[in-house]
Amino acid sequence: MAKITVVGSISTDFVVETDRRPLMGETVEGKAFSTSFGGKGANQAVASARLGAATTMLGAVGVDSFGEELLGNLEDNGISVNNVERVTHSSGSAFITLVDGDNSIIYVPGANGAYAPEMLESVIEQGTIIQSSDLVMVQNETPVETVNFLISKCSELNVPLLLNPAPAREIDRELLEKVTFLTPNETECDVLFPGEDRSTLLERYPNKLIVTLGSKGAVFHDGERIQTVPSLTVDKVVDTTGAGDTFNGAFAFAHASGLTMKDSIRFGNLAAGLSIQKPGAQTGAPTLEQMKEHEDFEKEWNFK
């Protein structure tokens, strides 16, 4: 069984559906309001756990009622939360406006911003969680100093690490060399590497840099040439929230389970394509059985 540790954000999503986004100073009427569980870290943990990975979550929630519910949801999805910190900050939140299936998001870190390097170091000193992981995942909704500390430690311990650089921010090139996988979307790639040609970047980071392209799939360099891996064709998009997180969680599960780079991306694209046909950042993440029912699932993907 693949063992995946996710270091990242755990939040509540507040979602408003409307026909159009308001202009400055304008009020528009919404069609629906809902709350759901989110946070890029939690989304990716749920995606990998639903597929069958032994998943551990590291991060922080508040001592408020939202924190209790967030932990309960992770546990309901079979994720270990024994080392999630409780802090005095409010739990993290995201305010999502949904128009015609596309989203815009305001993220409030709250407790997620309080997850400090020393909290992570205490986990590493236990010598069991990070060190026994087949893959560690982290995103940028965690403080930069904590992310940088994790990258350096995983490199020292020879533990593979996937950095999903969302939201985008600059990263030291020395640290980038220590990352096993880097999975920006097009916009994030432009922020990370301003003014640089994508083909040149892919060639510079073979089998490391995976640029996700939404409905156009994803691209990477296999050491010989650039490979384009198409996305799943979807008749009706319901909600794109969390699609990238589902891709990352599914890719991590597939690669940690022994699939090749290209097949892991294909698997991630399939999972993401299924996820956008349901509402919510986490509720759309498929199980392995749901994946197997789809015609694009390859029989040679023999997961134990």
Tell which residue, 120, 102, 106, 109, has the closest CA to residue 157: 120
- The answer to whether 247 and 2 are in contact (CB under 8 A) is no
Domain map (residue ranges) of the chain: 3-19+33-292
- The answer to whether 55 and 32 are in contact (CB under 8 A) is no
Give the SS3 label for residue 183: coil
Name the active-site residue from 13, 134, 239, 245: 245
Q: Looking only at Cα atoms, what is the longest distance across the chain?
A: 55
Scan for tokens 């403080």, then name that residue: 143
- pLDDT of 215: 87
Q: What is the DSSP letter of 23?
A: P
Alpha-carbon gap, residue 118 to 277, rounded angstroms: 40
For the domain covering 3-19+33-292, report its CATH number. Answer: 3.40.1190.20
- Both tokens of 235, joined, read 């008749």
Q: Catalytic site residue 245?
A: yes
- Both tokens of 231, joined, read 């996305």
- pLDDT of 235: 77
b/e per residue, 132-162, with b = 16+ CB within 10 A?
Answer: ebbbbbbbbbbbeebbbbbbebbbeeebbbb
Q: Which pTM value belongs to this model?
A: 0.91
- pLDDT of 279: 79
- The answer to whether 109 and 146 are in contact (CB under 8 A) is no
- pLDDT of 304: 63
- pLDDT of 151: 98
Per-residue pLDDT tens listing for the chain (304 residues): 899 999 999 999 898 999 999 999 999 999 999 898 999 999 999 999 999 999 999 999 999 999 999 999 999 999 999 999 999 999 999 898 989 878 788 889 999 999 999 999 999 999 899 999 999 999 999 999 999 999 999 999 999 999 999 999 988 999 999 999 999 999 999 999 999 999 999 999 999 999 999 889 999 999 999 999 998 888 788 877 789 999 999 999 999 999 999 999 999 999 999 998 887 779 899 999 999 999 889 888 877 6
